Structure 1
Amino acid sequence: MGAGHDHGASQANGKRLAMALALTSTFLIAEVVAGIAFNSLALLSDAAHMFTDAAALAIALAAIRVGQRKPTEDFTFGYRRFEILAAAFNAILLFGVAIYVLVEGVKRILNPEPVGSVGMFIVAALGLVINLVSMRLLASHKDKSLNVKGAYLEVWADMLGSLGVVVGAVVIKITGWRFVDPIVAIGIGLWVLPRTWILLKDTTRILLEGAPPGMALAGVRKAITETPGVASVHELHLWTTGADKAVCTVHVVLAEGAQGEAVRTAIATRLETDFDLHHVTIQTEVTECGEEGRHA
């Protein structure tokens, strides 16, 4: 049942990503041409960001396709982490674009250039609509997959960028202040950086097999140790294979007279109830005459 649910969710994610990718890619070309034609750094920075959106959506879509492959003898856990790898790549790509925009923005503030504010406004407004539609497509699944969340955050950031460009175009048209264009571009970069950093931290934690956020190893150890029949605990490990799949392995030394199967069942039930851990491997050991434990 769990595998079927995962497969269905992945298919739904794939359809939404494909539609968002089609919209974003189509508009990207127009925005690049318009940015050059109207000499707008804000528009070009938004186009660069939209390019990373398109790349993010394409990679996320590919990651879902690969992630649906069944486990093999070489990859016994399957390919679910490909989605996490894709999310990490997207974060790094977006981080680089944000830095570039900040640098170019400072240069433009020091040397303002003429900007076609009317064309800038029209194109940015169309981009805003495209981003809102894409966000709507991805919103319902963003909390269920880091891969989709990464793509959603990029589209969201680009939406705010388009909104900033729209406002900037209006201000330039009314006041003639050319420096508004690079200021908007810098604002986009500063907004994107911290959110990209958070996504990068989340994906890195999973790739480095860190414990699930909010799940303390000490608490899990305490719960296992308190289980009747447990003498001691060692080799306790917690990690995640994806945004929503936590895994636990542990070696448990049994108290004298304890039954291994009963203890394993009790521990598994406790961990599922208290920590929502559904993937647990428990190895029991017994000691004899103070000698080193043997596996049961």
Structure 2
Amino acid sequence: MKLIFLLQGIRIVQLALWNCLIEVIWFYGITFCGPLRSILVFEQSPSVIMVALLTLLKGSNSSSKTRGVIALMLGYLSLILMDSDATVESNHKSSHSHQSVLNHLFYHFIHNSGVSDHKGGVILLIFAVLIKMAYDSSFRHLAVEIGGPKRLYSLVTLFSAIFLTPVAILAFAMGEVYITSFIDFILLLFMGSMFVMVFDFYTESFCFQHVADPVLSSARWSPMIMFVCAFMFASAWYTGESHHASDAHVISGGVLLTLLCFIIACFSLTSSTSPRSRGGYYVGLSDSGMPLYTYGEAFLQKTSRSIMLLIKETLAEILANTDSRRIFWFLCANLSFCGIEFLYGFWTNSLGLISDGFHMLFDCSALVMGLVASVMSRWPSSKYYSYGYGRVEVLSGFINALFLIVIAFFIFLEALERLYDPPDISTDKLMIVAVAGLIINIFGMFAFHGATHAHSHGDDGSHSHSHSHNNASHSHSHSHSHSHSHGEANANMQGVFLHVLADTLGSVFVIISTLMIQYFGWKWVDPLCSLILSMLILGSVIPLLKQSMATLMQNMPPKTEEEFEHILHEILNMEGVMSYSNVHLWQLKSVFNIVSLHVQVSDDANDQIIRLKILKILKSINITQASVQVEKENFFHRISALCPSYKIPQRITKGVAIGHTSVSGNFCHHNEVCD
């Protein structure tokens, strides 16, 4: 029995030593990076971190776990890379030469690693959290043998105080600790011990006794509540007068992003993965003894697709097409360069690199819009979009053109203002950024140059109607034929190409202006180059704006207009054709032209032969889809007798100048209601 007590005592002392190590590392971590950052890192639940590690190592079928791992990694990265807090003195050797060896060890470890103080503090706290995970596991196993967690916690706290008290007294005696008021110090020590040591432990114990799933509930809500409360207290503290102090660990954008990512991670990684019912809800038995179920939306589980499967399918769809593949690879190159600029800019606190990174990010948004349009334009037609989504690429080109015009307009105004009063320009690292951007944009120029010329292989569809006075039947037929055409340029790819062209010219002008400023001191060259750049952007984007706007307005394709007039003359000269009416020609997208035409023929003419001849003629001018309605004179007599209010449309006969007649303005009133 004595041997058992001795072994348990040794294990308790070992736990106390590990607890002392964790507390010391936590103390230096909070010194380096401040209380808010230490709470965000150190108070993260070990269960959340363990689930994230298991998901990374073994994988998971749950999309929520994957989202949680991504959010947790983004939180740590943003706190290390996007947080510019640096408040501890860098010249520690001269200002803290009187401190202990332990202080020198931590300070020199941080400064010799080449990172700022708060980054070193975050790394120390992450290391402390990993040690704490092993400590908690040993604590739970030993608590079962000792007789409960309360007793073990009291013993570990007692031994930790015994070990740390001599160190604190020695530090106070050597003059390393400066206490202005012993009353305030004792009061703060008592309050801190009560809330951090006692109140926190009993609150967690209460939750474990009264909550259905205490481990996951505590791992989810405890860190989230602490994070939000700490952020609120820090916001109130740093917005007061004390935030002007030089040693204040103020709140940055990286801290805010970390807070949001950690909350998402806590919620996602602790979500239940138990299967739910996908069937009906049992409500009882019928009179005959059969079970009764209620099926409704409230009892049905909607299945969610895995985010990895969605990404895989989307990538396969992107890489299956030449246009979307070109945009995707250039977008990856652009995002990589943008990420390098952001990381290096945040690391070196270079505002120029960060500003250029945001500029590259804006360009990436245009590429993303072009990529989405390229993918959506290939979606099949649906019930509500019978023509499909092909016109999305025209809309994307129109929006990109508007963006470029707005950019060129603001560049023009800013260049005029700076031309009269040239400001001082810092050329530090400007040449490197401009050359790197030029290389990326030249790659994009070569990638998109061939894609701006339309090249299509498609199916020609035809649609015809024939009516006869002696036969009440209504015939309806379709025909399809393969076509190969070189037509109008793809508006979406043209808009992306113009964005890349504008960036390429911008990089060239930046290089020119940088050289002129460095060697000759000509500060007016920069606004002059910007003025020329805005003119070039406007001159190149206006044709795209006009073309895409005309396509959205369903105008006749300009390159097809003259040929189409000759085709109409040829149709009038066909044997049996008397006239035509209701001519409509419009462009759906770059190489997709549609024609709707009514042809009036003699009663003895073969309407099917005439229809096939017309379709063949229309296909010769790259008409992708044609709807030809063949009408005979008996049809008009019959429809006039049945519906006296029917208005016969204007007909174009031989000898009438087509150019003086509206091609697409005649609408027949077939929707008249006749009693």
Sort the TM-score into its range (normalised by shorter chain): 0.7 to 0.9
Contact 2:423 2:523 in 1 (8 A): yes
Contact 2:318 2:375 in 1 (8 A): no
Instruction: Measure the CA separation in 2 of the matches of 1:237 and 1:10.
Output: 34
Q: Residues 25-77 of structure 1, C-alpha deviation per residue, up to 9 Å, x if partnerless? A: 3434639x69x8469xxx96x974x5553222110111122222211111100
Cα gap change, 1:156/1:290 in structure 2, threshold over 3 Å: closer, same or farther? closer
The higher radius of gyration belongs to: 2
Instruction: Measure the CA separation in 2 of the matches of 1:59 and 1:289.
Output: 50
The match for 1:3 is none
Q: Residues 111-131 of structure 1, C-alpha deviation per residue, up to 9 Å, x if partnerless? A: 211112352222111111000
- Secondary structure of the corresponding residue to residue 75 of structure 1: coil
User: What letter matches 2:394 in structure 1?
Assistant: I
Instruction: Measure the CA separation in 2 of the matches of 1:208 and 1:256.
Output: 38
The match for 1:281 is 627
- Structure-to-structure mapping, 1:22-37, within 5 angstroms: 22-28=332-338, 30=341, 37=351
Equivalent pairs counted in the alignment come to 282
Cα gap change, 1:129/1:83 in structure 2, threshold over 3 Å: closer, same or farther? same
- Structure-to-structure mapping, 1:1-296, within 5 angstroms: 11-28=321-338, 30=341, 37=351, 48=359, 50-117=360-427, 119-144=429-454, 145-216=490-561, 217-273=564-620, 275-288=621-634, 291=637
Cα gap change, 1:163/1:69 in structure 2, threshold over 3 Å: closer, same or farther? same
Instruction: Measure the CA separation in 2 of the matches of 1:101 and 1:28.
Output: 22
Structure 1 stretches of 5 or more lacking a match?
1-6
- Secondary structure of the corresponding residue to residue 321 of structure 2: helix
Instruction: Measure the CA separation in 1 of the matches of 2:382 and 2:494.
Output: 27
The match for 2:139 is none
Instruction: Measure the CA separation in 2 of the matches of 1:154 and 1:69.
Output: 25
Contact 2:334 2:440 in 1 (8 A): yes
| CA displacement at 1:226 relative to structure 2 | 2.2
Cα gap change, 1:289/1:132 in structure 2, threshold over 3 Å: closer, same or farther? closer
Instruction: Measure the CA separation in 2 of the matches of 1:105 and 1:124.
Output: 19
User: What letter matches 2:627 in structure 1?
Assistant: T
Cα gap change, 1:184/1:47 in structure 2, threshold over 3 Å: closer, same or farther? farther
Cα gap change, 1:109/1:292 in structure 2, threshold over 3 Å: closer, same or farther? farther
User: What letter matches 2:547 in structure 1?
Assistant: D
Q: What percent identity do the matched residue pairs reach?
A: 24
Instruction: Measure the CA separation in 2 of the matches of 1:52 and 1:204.
Output: 23
Cα gap change, 1:205/1:51 in structure 2, threshold over 3 Å: closer, same or farther? farther
- Secondary structure of the corresponding residue to residue 215 of structure 1: helix
Contact 2:587 2:594 in 1 (8 A): yes
Contact 1:237 1:250 in 2 (8 A): yes
Contact 1:232 1:254 in 2 (8 A): yes
Instruction: Measure the CA separation in 2 of the matches of 1:172 and 1:119.
Output: 14
Contact 1:81 1:242 in 2 (8 A): yes
- Secondary structure of the corresponding residue to residue 288 of structure 1: helix
Cα gap change, 1:38/1:290 in structure 2, threshold over 3 Å: closer, same or farther? closer
Instruction: Measure the CA separation in 2 of the matches of 1:268 and 1:54.
Output: 44
Instruction: Measure the CA separation in 1 of the matches of 2:626 and 2:527.
Output: 53
Moved more, 141-150 or 19-28: 19-28
Instruction: Measure the CA separation in 2 of the matches of 1:104 and 1:8.
Output: 38
The match for 2:132 is none
- Secondary structure of the corresponding residue to residue 551 of structure 2: helix
Instruction: Measure the CA separation in 1 of the matches of 2:427 and 2:513.
Output: 8
- Secondary structure of the corresponding residue to residue 498 of structure 2: helix
What RMSD over aligned residues (CA atoms) do the two structures have, in Å?
Answer: 2.9
| CA displacement at 1:276 relative to structure 2 | 2.2
Instruction: Measure the CA separation in 2 of the matches of 1:113 and 1:193.
Output: 25
Instruction: Measure the CA separation in 1 of the matches of 2:319 and 2:608.
Output: 35
Instruction: Measure the CA separation in 2 of the matches of 1:289 and 1:246.
Output: 29
- Secondary structure of the corresponding residue to residue 69 of structure 1: coil
User: What letter matches 2:519 in structure 1?
Assistant: I
User: What letter matches 1:219 in structure 2?
Assistant: H
User: What letter matches 1:141 in structure 2?
Assistant: A
Contact 2:452 2:494 in 1 (8 A): yes
Cα gap change, 1:289/1:77 in structure 2, threshold over 3 Å: closer, same or farther? closer
The match for 1:4 is none
| CA displacement at 1:257 relative to structure 2 | 1.3
- Secondary structure of the corresponding residue to residue 534 of structure 2: helix
Instruction: Measure the CA separation in 1 of the matches of 2:558 and 2:639.
Output: 32
Contact 1:102 1:189 in 2 (8 A): yes
Contact 2:367 2:496 in 1 (8 A): yes
Contact 1:118 1:169 in 2 (8 A): no
User: What letter matches 2:422 in structure 1?
Assistant: P
Cα gap change, 1:161/1:289 in structure 2, threshold over 3 Å: closer, same or farther? closer
Instruction: Measure the CA separation in 2 of the matches of 1:290 and 1:265.
Output: 23
- Secondary structure of the corresponding residue to residue 505 of structure 2: helix
Contact 1:38 1:117 in 2 (8 A): no
User: What letter matches 2:391 in structure 1?
Assistant: R
Q: TM-score with structure 1 length normalisation?
A: 0.86
| CA displacement at 1:293 relative to structure 2 | 7.2
Instruction: Measure the CA separation in 2 of the matches of 1:86 and 1:290.
Output: 44
| CA displacement at 1:292 relative to structure 2 | 7.7
Contact 1:117 1:170 in 2 (8 A): no
Instruction: Measure the CA separation in 2 of the matches of 1:9 and 1:205.
Output: 30
Contact 1:23 1:134 in 2 (8 A): no
